[in-house]
Amino acid sequence: MVLLEYTVHPARNAWQSLKATKERFQRSQKPNFDYHAEIMAFSKRLNETFTLDLLKTAFVNSSYLVQEMNRRLELGLDKETAALNLQDNQELYQRGSEFTAMYLRERLQQQFPNLSDVGMTALFDYLTGQEIMCYVAQNLALEDLTLSSECPLSPETLQRTFYAVIGALLQSSGPERTGLFIRVGLSQQYMPYVQDIANVH
């Protein structure tokens, strides 16, 4: 069982609010939006060092590439000309999700060495669940920079983009800095709730 069965955490109301905002448009879809400047501002706001091309790729979901390709084809461009010189975030998502899983499992095992396997799984599932991941991603304003055909973004896309940003940081700054980012953003922020789960198990 996960923490949601034991206590109420701040992600619930925030995520319900996000789901209720059906008419919300990403800032990246608005006119006069300086995407490059916003990407740089995002990196500075996090106080992290990213390779900008990697960070930009982290926000590109495959549905956006399909949408843009179709739009260009509808304008009469041939397929070769219509192709975008962009890569989606699949590889960064995989790197980010794998590293996050490895890092959190190691950290939780160090912090709760006597916890049962069931309890450890509950802790991990809580911290990596969509509700928490999307709440943190929303606080970081990831949805403003995410390129996707969806509007509003689905929880799956927002979580996927968050993992891709972690993957971009991993490739840009290495595992130590990325681990600190995960620890501050996920593990430490929700430690009171994590402790509740550990006490139950």
CA dihedral 113, 116, 120, 123 (to 10 degrees): -100
Task: Domain of residue 109: give its range.
Answer: 43-77+88-200
Answer whether residue 133 is part of any domain: yes
* Mean local confidence (pLDDT), 73-79: 71
Report the range of poorest mean pLDDT among 79-83, 99-103, 173-177, 184-188: 79-83
Which range of 3-7, 23-27, 76-80, 152-156 scores highest in mean pLDDT? It is 152-156
Residue 60: beta bridge partners?
Answer: 147
- pLDDT tens sequence across 151-195: 899 999 999 999 999 999 999 999 999 999 999 888 666 666 666
**Does residue 3 lie in a domain region?**
no
Question: Taking a C-beta distance cutoff of 8 angstroms, is the pair 1, 122 a contact?
Answer: yes
> Residue 54's domain is classified under what CATH number?
1.10.1520.10
pLDDT of residue 5 exceeding 70 = no
Neighbours of 91 (CB within 10 A): 13
Q: How many domains does the chain have?
A: 1
Number of C-alpha atoms within 13 angstroms, CB side, residue 51? 12
